[in-house]
Amino acid sequence: MRLAHPLPPNSVIGILGGGQLGRMLALAAARLGLRCHIYAPEADSPAFQVAAAFTCAAYDDRDALEAFAAAVDVVTYEFENVPAETASILGRLKPLAPGAEALATSQDRFVEKTFLAGIGLETAPFAAVDDEAGLERAVARIGRPSILKTRRFGYDGKGQTTLRAETALAAAWAQIGARPAILEGFVAFEKEVSVIAARGWDGAIAVYDVPENRHANHILHQSIVPAAIAPETAAEAREIAARIAAALDYVGVIGVELFFARGQGAERLIVNEIAPRVHNSGHWTMDACTVSQFEQHIRAVAGWPLGSPERHSDVIMTNLLGEDAENWQNLAREPHSGLHLYGKAECRAGRKMGHINRLTPRQG
Amino acid sequence: MRLAHPLPPNSVIGILGGGQLGRMLALAAARLGLRCHIYAPEADSPAFQVAAAFTCAAYDDRDALEAFAAAVDVVTYEFENVPAETASILGRLKPLAPGAEALATSQDRFVEKTFLAGIGLETAPFAAVDDEAGLERAVARIGRPSILKTRRFGYDGKGQTTLRAETALAAAWAQIGARPAILEGFVAFEKEVSVIAARGWDGAIAVYDVPENRHANHILHQSIVPAAIAPETAAEAREIAARIAAALDYVGVIGVELFFARGQGAERLIVNEIAPRVHNSGHWTMDACTVSQFEQHIRAVAGWPLGSPERHSDVIMTNLLGEDAENWQNLAREPHSGLHLYGKAECRAGRKMGHINRLTPRQG
């Protein structure tokens, strides 16, 4: 179902997922005079604290989903692992953005890579793996080192393992749970970058500047904006994101992760994966832009004009994981810095507790 | 009661008042991982939509106030007309910021002017008026034109009337409701400016740049930042606000309204009034500064380090009154602009429905 008209102030945005992304979406919607209704199964969801209404129920609770759909004007989500059946129920009752195609594409690494290659974008070499014999065939084709990943439900390095020369294939296959998988060839990249883009119901596109992303233990540590890459390469990255969004008839904010490599002196971009939602590598927009990725997503799904993605400052976003956030008093003291804490009651090692955006004057 | 220690994330800020100021305070608190509990008598209070908890009860409901105090870690407010008894009940149970002295001083125009004059600041000539005979004596001293204002509960031009040469004093006295009043001499000012300052429990001070404020029908229309006044005058205005905050042992954000006049070529500042709360003329900080006045107030009352009040852009804030907000689609389309709508269900003529901050690169 498509949105019939732009949603006026006081309309209700339904959001599946109650974590920090849902919370920041709700805060951004409130700025525009829109109300949020959060749907999440966890009783202590941080987004519940800032929403006009919430439903605490399982994603397969059909009655709760129908009542939720009746209470909202549009449905969106903060995570890509929304069950297909949930999306299907809601999408029949209310406009759902991003749509079912974007969700299905990004939920399965093999479907995703096939889609990307199909629209002419460079990806790592890849092959589907359905069983141990299939893994042997894939290794014969892709070689080693390579990475074996489950097709579904992986994030932050979970559900994947590296195949080195000495790795026993049976052990690797067991390690990822003997589930449908994809084998990806190694890309000798120099750095990782990403693009945060937004697309409206009307096809309008807005694309933010490109950050360089640094990871630690498979979790994003920092996004540095702008990335130190040639302006033409940055423009190409933005163009790739716009092309992906258009091909999916996408509505909302999309995150596109890319590898940046250099071959024979030329800069090269290889698409790694897409996230059909606001993205951790876009958190810098909250302090360096007038319209953040969260407001941009709300604008897109609500049928509002997209905001200018222009950046007034250079910025380094640093995630605060686990006990990093216990340093809040010193972080709050830093000048030219936007501090964001997520209202999570429990602090666990590696858990995303907040982030800080450190601004410097724009260099160009 | 003073705050014993800085309030860690997930602490609860109690806010009296559920209008747009309470709402923007709650949104700012959420950014820092603090929870808000709003207390307001109106069932459709916009701040309820974004708060972790709310109490809908009258300000003289002692049971509700005591339950509210038990549920929060500090109490603040969005409006200066908090009943003294309400403040007294809460202040005995939990830290209250700004404190009772600031509240008492700003609630009564005569007490306020006496305080300002007492710390050596220039104000308009003024005299207390308790009855019609007193009004005659005051006019004999202050002259005409002058302005008769109720001592208490005036805002946005309400509860005041101008005495011109032909005005009958009895009629003027009746018009303001024959209530305890103050007569203020006219100030021949060139423009109105204001200062938004914050002071912490530890006495730390942070002061934002000075806006020029333009009014229409006694309601703020625009704040233009920076005001076109000499740098030394701007510095003096900031110094005046800091002096007022220190003299009141103030905790939180304070708004100080001043008249800017020119006499024999020299620039002069006359203090008009103080508001013991975040202030409409500080809304520009939401888009032109990394730490807005709302976050600054939350930091101050929660015992956090104050943020840098530095401004990265020049800005004009324009209030959206009544049907101005119906133009939201065009306003949302403007580049370099932060649009804020307050989630008010009913649009009435002259009602503050939102504001827009139009940014331009900082000129110096």
In a domain, B225, yes or no: yes
Q: Which of B10, B307, B342 sits opposite A345 (nearest CB)?
A: B10
Distance (Å, rounded) from C-alpha A157 to C-alpha B6?
37
**Is residue A3 situated within a structural domain?**
no
The CATH number assigned to the domain holding B149 equals: 3.30.1490.20
Q: For residue B177, what is the DSSP state?
A: T
Q: Nearest CA of chain A to the CA of B264: how many Å?
A: 40
For residues B320 and B356, the answer to whether their CB atoms sit within 8 Å is yes
- Within A210-343, residue ranges assigned H as helices are 231-247, 285-288, 293-301, 328-333
Residue of A nearest to B11 (CA): A343
Of B362, B354, B318, B286, nearest to B25 by C-alpha is B286
**A325, B354: Cβ pair inside 8 Å?**
no
Is the Cβ pair A9, B329 closer than 8 Å? no
- Residues of A (102-141) whose Cβ lies below 8 Å from B: none
Shortest Cα–Cα distance, B90 to chain A (Å): 24
If one counts the domains in chain B, the total is 3
Judge whether A149 is closer than 8 Å to chain B, CB to CB. Answer: no
- For residues B49 and B146, membership in a common domain is answered with no
Average pLDDT over residues B225-245: 98
Per-residue burial over B263-286, b if 16 or more Cβ lie within 10 Å, else e, is eeeebbbbbbbbbbbbbbbbbbbb
Does residue A349 sit within a domain? yes
Q: Are residues A67 and A202 in the same domain?
A: no
Task: Tell me the residues of chain B between 272 and 291 that have a Cβ less than 8 Å away from chain A.
Answer: 287, 290-291
Could you tell me the CA-to-CA distances from A254 to A12, A83, A203, B62, B335 in Å, in that order? Answer: 21, 19, 14, 50, 21
A-facing residues of B in 36-75 (CB < 8 A) are 48-52
Residue of A nearest to B45 (CA): A52
Question: CATH code at B58?
Answer: 3.40.50.20
Q: Does B149 lie in the same domain as B226? A: no
Q: What is the pLDDT of residues B300-355, one digit of tens each?
A: 999 999 999 999 999 999 999 999 999 999 999 999 999 999 999 999 999 999 99
Lowest mean pLDDT among A253-267, B16-30, B280-294: A253-267
Structural domain includes residue B119: no
Chain A nearest CA to B27, separation (Å): 6
A30/B49 touch (CB, cutoff 8 Å), yes or no: yes
Task: Kindly determine whether residue B23 and residue A30, on different chains, have CB atoms separated by under 8 Å.
Answer: yes
Burial (CB count <10 Å: 0-12, 13-18, 19+), residue B219: middle
pLDDT above 70: percentage of residues in chain B: 99
Do the domain assignments include residue A1? no
Contact B325, B356 (CB under 8 A): no
Residue B33: predicted pLDDT = 98
- Which whole number is the average pLDDT over B96-111? 96
Which chain B positions have a beta carbon within 8 Å of A30's beta carbon? 23, 27, 49-50, 343
Residue A75 contacts residue A9 (beta carbons within 8 Å) = no
Q: Which of A168, A185, A202 is the last residue of a domain?
A: A185
Q: What is the 3-state secondary structure (H, E, C) of A19-71?
A: CHHHHHHHHHHHHECCEEEEEECCCCCHHHHHCCEEEECCCCCHHHHHHHHHH
Q: Is the pLDDT of residue B155 over 70?
A: no
Q: Which of chain B's residues have a Cβ under 8 Å away from the Cβ of A299?
A: 332
Which pLDDT score, from 0 to 100, does residue A237 have? 98
B295 vs B300: CA distance, rounded Å: 9
Chain B's closest residue to A11, CA to CA, is B343
| B287 vs A48, A290, A328: nearest CB | A290
Residues of B in contact with A339 (CB under 8 A): 31-32
Mean pLDDT of chain A: 96
* Domain assignment of residue A137, given as a range: 125-185
Chain A hits for B336, CB-CB cut-off 8 Å, are: 290, 308, 310
User: Nearest by CB to A336, which of B49, B290, B329?
Assistant: B290
Size of interface A-B (CB pairs under 8 A): 121
Total length of chain B: 364
Q: What pLDDT does residue B35 have?
A: 98
Q: Is the pLDDT of residue A150 over 70?
A: yes
Under an 8 A CB cutoff, do A10 and B299 touch? no
pLDDT (tens digit per residue) in B174-218:
999 999 999 999 999 999 999 999 999 999 999 999 999 999 998
B336 shares contact with chain A (CB less than 8 Å): yes
**CATH no. for residue B329?**
3.30.470.20
Do B15 and B39 meet the contact criterion of CB atoms below 8 Å apart?
yes
Shortest Cα distance, chain B CAs vs residue A312, angstroms: 8
Quick check: is A103 in a domain? no
Residue A153, pLDDT > 90, answer no
Identify whether residues B195 and B281 lie together within a single domain: yes
Q: Please indicate, yes or no, if residue B115 is contained in any of the structural domains.
A: no
Q: For residue range A89-123, list pLDDT tens digits in order.
A: 999 999 999 999 999 999 999 999 999 999 999 99
Asked if B332 reaches chain A (Cβ–Cβ under 8 Å), the answer is yes
Q: Are residues A298 and A344 in the same domain?
A: yes
Q: B58, B77, B96 — which closes off a domain?
A: B96
For residue A298 the two structure tokens come to 């709300």
Q: Which of B166, B185, B204 is the last residue of a domain?
A: B185
Please determine, for the modelled complex, whether the ipTM score is greater than 0.85: yes
Nearest-neighbour CA in chain B from A293: distance (Å): 13
Q: Find the Cα–Cα–Cα–Cα dihedral B242, B243, B249, B250, rounded to 10°.
A: -40
Shared domain check, B349 and B287: yes
Most A CBs within 10 A among B290, B294, B311, B356, hence the mutation to make, goes to: B290
- Tens digits of residue pLDDT in A163-185: 999 999 999 999 999 999 999 99
**Cβ neighbours of A329 in B, within 8 Å:** 6, 304-305
Q: A322 and chain B: CB distance < 8 Å anywhere?
A: no
Q: Can you list the alpha helix ranges (DSSP code H) found in chain A?
A: 20-31, 62-71, 84-93, 100-107, 109-118, 132-142, 169-175, 231-247, 285-288, 293-301, 328-333
Q: Hey, is the C-beta of B307 within 8 angstroms of any chain A C-beta? A: yes
Residue B58 has pLDDT above 70, yes or no: yes
Nearest to B33 among A333, A343, A359 (CB): A343
Q: Is the pLDDT of residue A155 over 90?
A: no
Are B347 and B220 in a shared domain?
yes
- What's the gap in Å between the CA of B348 and the closest CA on chain A? 15
Using CA atoms, how far apart are residues A87 and A77, in angstroms rounded to an integer? 10
Give the nearest partner residue to A290 out of B51, B337, B343, using CB atoms.
B337
Residues A157 and A211 in one domain: no
Shortest CA distance from B296: residue in chain A: A332
Interface of A with B in 193-252 (CB under 8 A): none
Q: Could you give the residue ranges of the DSSP H alpha helices within A302-356?
A: 328-333
Asked if A57 and A148 sit in the same domain, the reply is no
pLDDT digits (tens, 9 = 90+) for B266-289: 999 999 999 999 999 999 999 999
pLDDT at B265: 79
Kindly tell me if the per-residue pLDDT of A154 is higher than 80: no
Are B71 and B197 in a shared domain? no
Confidence check: pLDDT of B154 > 80: no
At B332 the pLDDT is 98
- Tell me whether residue A45 is in a domain: yes
Residues B196 and B345 in one domain: yes
What pLDDT was estimated at residue A181?
97
Cβ-defined contact of A308 to B26 (cutoff 8 Å):
no
- Angle between helix B84-93 and B100-107 (nearest 10): 170
| Average pLDDT value for chain B | 96
Q: Could you report how far apart the first and last alpha carbons of chain A are, in Å?
A: 42
Q: A331 and A268 in one domain? A: yes
Q: Is A312 on the interface with B (CB under 8 A)?
A: yes
Touching check for A333 and chain B: CB below 8 Å? yes
Nearest residue in A to B359, CA atom: A290
- Two tokens, residue B47: 């701040």
